């Protein structure tokens, strides 16, 4: 879904998603650490798979986590 080459990311959309994550969290530090850990995992998964993803791991983590926040059925499918 997020692996199209040269995909453009709207900075206002990322900012809105990040603000939604922080506002929904009970602890700003904890959500920041969760995003960082998810980004780290994404980075290593991309490296192991040899994928050339144009989206930086932190941005990808924010997108994925905000999707999970807004669409809880995504979590239920896993």
pLDDT tens per residue across all 78 residues of the chain? 455 444 677 899 999 999 999 999 889 999 999 999 999 998 877 666 666 667 888 999 999 999 988 776 544 444
pLDDT for the residue 5 = 45
pLDDT for the residue 38 = 93
Which residues have a Cβ under 8 Å from the Cβ of 54 and sit 6 or more positions away? 4, 5, 6, 7
pLDDT for the residue 45 = 77
List pLDDT tens digits, range 59-69: 999 999 999 88
């Amino acid at each position: 879904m997020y692996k199209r080459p040269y995909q453009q990311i709207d900075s206002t959309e990322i900012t809105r998603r990040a603000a939604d994550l922080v506002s929904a969290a009970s602890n700003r530090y904890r959500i920041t650490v969760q995003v960082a850990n998810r980004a780290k995992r994404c980075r290593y998964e991309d490296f192991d798979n040899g994928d050339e993803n144009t989206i930086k791991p932190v941005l990808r983590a924010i997108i994925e986590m905000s999707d999970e926040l807004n669409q809880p059925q995504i979590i239920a499918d896993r």
